[in-house]
């Protein structure tokens, strides 16, 4: 029986290696159809509803510039009215006498009726009269204490700050998508590694049973192999659950358009030093730009508030036309142009209060700019340190994987010639599995850390 057992063990040894190579080949096929991280980020940003809402809010905020500019343009108004009136009018004896003297027509016993039918009907009872009025007025501000100019500057700075913050929000979403993508990569890599371990342990378990039947192993060896196989199967179930959760987390931020995930070969560009990273951030970080623009807007608001105390000058021109105001069929028209000057004398302290409020907001904007610079500096230093640490961890994980693979191949050969026990094989198998998972996680962490650096410097983009 020794010869058939030996041949069966050799066959199982080949099957173990084939079982290890098959997932690698399948992974290679999946990489060919995988959707890279850059595509995932681009599609995720395009379909992100929260980012779309922020973009719409920015579009709404841009209208503030148009509204501020409109304050300095002519204001044209057209007004019209049509009134129907019905009733009677009795001017009294004295008024009749005055009217009679004006029209040089003595009144007799008939009173108002002797003035003539048209005039008498106008004052007396009738079927009703319609009067129409129309007016067009043009108002042009000439001087407002530079409030309009400063209002435009404030609106422009505020909108540019909102645009910069939207860019920062977009970069934040891009990093969230990348982080979720890499978590899926790590989870699925763990599944592949555990599946390989399951296949290998199944072969080891069968080989142990055959060896036990041949009297070359003990029941303890069989139990150990069976126990380890059950543990790895449980680990596989947990890894599959983690992968499902990772995919669902990615769908929240990146949508469900990405199906195949692959570990990127390279990450984002990383500056050579912290000083270089800070120089880049000062030039390009949208949060720093937004803070500076907030300060500009606050300064413009202070100037605008001070302008409330200045006199205001405006031109006003109007043309009006009316008919049927006093008598049936009468008409009148009027054209006017005027220069109006308004000088505020007392407004209950409202102007002084607005000036104090604007100054306080200006101070707040300056402090906020300093705080933003401090936070960006801390984020850059943390991100750069994390990136350097991830590089060292990746090097260590790669060395560990290389050593674990070498140890696994050696212990398999030594097990074949009887120099290693089943327990030795199981220990090496467990270490190889941990090394494989750790290597993928370490590589994913390097990519993640590089994106974190780009986000900290404000240069993260989907490309």
Q: What does the pLDDT look like over 316-340, one tens digit per residue?
A: 999 999 987 777 778 899 999 999 9
Return the pLDDT at 303.
Answer: 94
C-beta atoms surrounding 445 within 10 Å = 22
Please report which confidence band the pLDDT of residue 275 belongs to, taking 50, 70 and 90 as the band edges. very high
Of 249-258, 355-364, 387-396, 409-418, give the lowest mean pLDDT range: 409-418
DSSP labels, 219-264: HHHHHHHHHHHHHHHHHHHHHHHHHHHHHHHHHHHH-S--------
Rounded-to-integer distance, Cα 397 and Cα 438, Å: 6
d(CA 460, CA 43): 15
Instruction: Give the model's pLDDT for residue 181.
Output: 93
Q: What is the mean pLDDT of residues 188-200?
A: 86
Distance between CA atoms of residues 44 and 52, nearest Å: 11
Please tell me the predicted confidence (pLDDT) of residue 29.
Answer: 37
Lowest pLDDT segment from 1-15, 57-71, 180-194: 1-15
Q: Is the pLDDT of residue 365 over 80?
A: yes
Q: Could you report the per-residue pLDDT of 83-138, keeping only the tens digit for each? A: 887 766 666 777 767 767 766 545 444 444 454 444 445 544 445 678 899 999 99
- In the chain, the percentage of residues whose pLDDT exceeds 70 is 83
pLDDT tens-digit readout, 239-274: 999 999 999 999 988 888 888 898 888 888 999 999
Beta strands 331-342 and 75-85, pairing class: unpaired
- Residue pair 287/165 in contact (Cβ under 8 Å)? The answer is yes
The predicted pLDDT at position 91 comes to: 66
Structural domains of the chain in order of their starting residue, each with its CATH number = 2-86+131-457 (1.20.1600.10), 91-126 (no CATH)
C-alpha distances out from residue 377 to 227, 279, 298, 346, 383, Å:
52, 10, 24, 48, 10
pLDDT score of 367: 97
Nearest to 9 by CA among 249, 210, 171: 210
Tokens of 432: 């190889």
> What is the model's pLDDT at position 77?
94
**424 contact partners, CB below 8 Å, separation of at least 6:** 411, 414, 415
Per-residue pLDDT at 33? 57
pLDDT at 31: 42
Of the chain, the percentage scoring pLDDT greater than 90 comes to 53
Q: Which two tokens stand for residue 315?
A: 């031109």
**Four-residue CA torsion sign, 95, 100, 106, 112:** negative
């Amino acid at each position: 029986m020794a010869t058939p057992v030996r041949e069966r063990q050799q066959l199982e040894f080949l099957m173990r290696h084939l079982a290890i190579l098959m997932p690698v080949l399948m992974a290679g096929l999946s990489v060919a159809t995988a959707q890279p991280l850059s595509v995932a980020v681009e599609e995720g940003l395009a379909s992100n509803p929260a980012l779309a809402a922020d973009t719409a809010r920015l579009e709404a905020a841009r209208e503030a510039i148009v509204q501020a500019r409109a304050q300095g343009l002519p204001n044209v108004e057209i007004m019209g009215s049509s009134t129907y009136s019905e009733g009677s009018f009795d001017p009294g004896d004295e008024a009749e006498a005055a009217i009679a003297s004006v029209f040089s027509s003595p009144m007799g016993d008939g009173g108002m009726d002797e003035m003539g039918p048209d005039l008498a009907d106008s004052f007396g009872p009738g079927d009703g009269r319609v009067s129409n009025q129309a007016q067009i007025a043009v108002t042009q501000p000439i001087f407002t204490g530079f409030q309009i100019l400063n209002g435009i500057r404030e609106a422009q700075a505020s909108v540019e700050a909102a645009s910069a913050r939207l860019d920062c929000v977009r970069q934040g979403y891009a990093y969230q998508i990348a982080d979720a993508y890499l978590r899926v990569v790590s989870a699925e890599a763990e599944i592949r590694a555990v599946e390989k371990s399951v296949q290998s342990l199944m072969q080891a378990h069968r080989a142990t049973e055959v060896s036990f039947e041949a009297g070359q192993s003990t029941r303890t060896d069989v139990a150990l192999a069976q126990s380890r196989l059950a543990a790895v199967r449980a680990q596989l179930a947990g890894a599959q659950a983690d992968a499902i959760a990772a995919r669902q987390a990615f769908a929240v931020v990146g949508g469900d358009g990405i199906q195949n995930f692959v570990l990127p070969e390279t990450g984002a560009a990383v500056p050579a030093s912290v000083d270089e990273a800070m120089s880049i951030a000062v030039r390009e970080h949208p949060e720093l730009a937004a803070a500076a623009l907030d300060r500009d807007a606050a300064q413009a608001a202070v100037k605008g508030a001070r302008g409330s105390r200045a006199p205001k000058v405006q031109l006003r021109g109007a043309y009006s036309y009316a008919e049927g105001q006093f008598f049936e069929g009468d008409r009148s028209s009027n054209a006017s142009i005027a220069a109006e000057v308004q000088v505020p004398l007392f407004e209950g302290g409202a102007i002084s209060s607005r000036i104090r409020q604007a100054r306080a907001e200006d101070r707040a904007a300056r402090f906020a700019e300093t705080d933003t610079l401090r936070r960006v500096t801390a984020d850059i230093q943390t991100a750069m340190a994390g990136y350097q640490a991830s590089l060292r961890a990746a090097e260590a994980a790669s060395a560990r994987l290389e050593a674990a693979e070498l140890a696994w191949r050696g212990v398999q050969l030594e097990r074949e010639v009887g120099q290693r026990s089943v327990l030795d094989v199981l220990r090496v198998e467990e270490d190889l599995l941990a090394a494989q998972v750790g290597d993928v996680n370490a590589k994913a962490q390097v990519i993640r850390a590089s994106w974190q650096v780009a986000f900290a410097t404000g240069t993260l983009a989907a490309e």
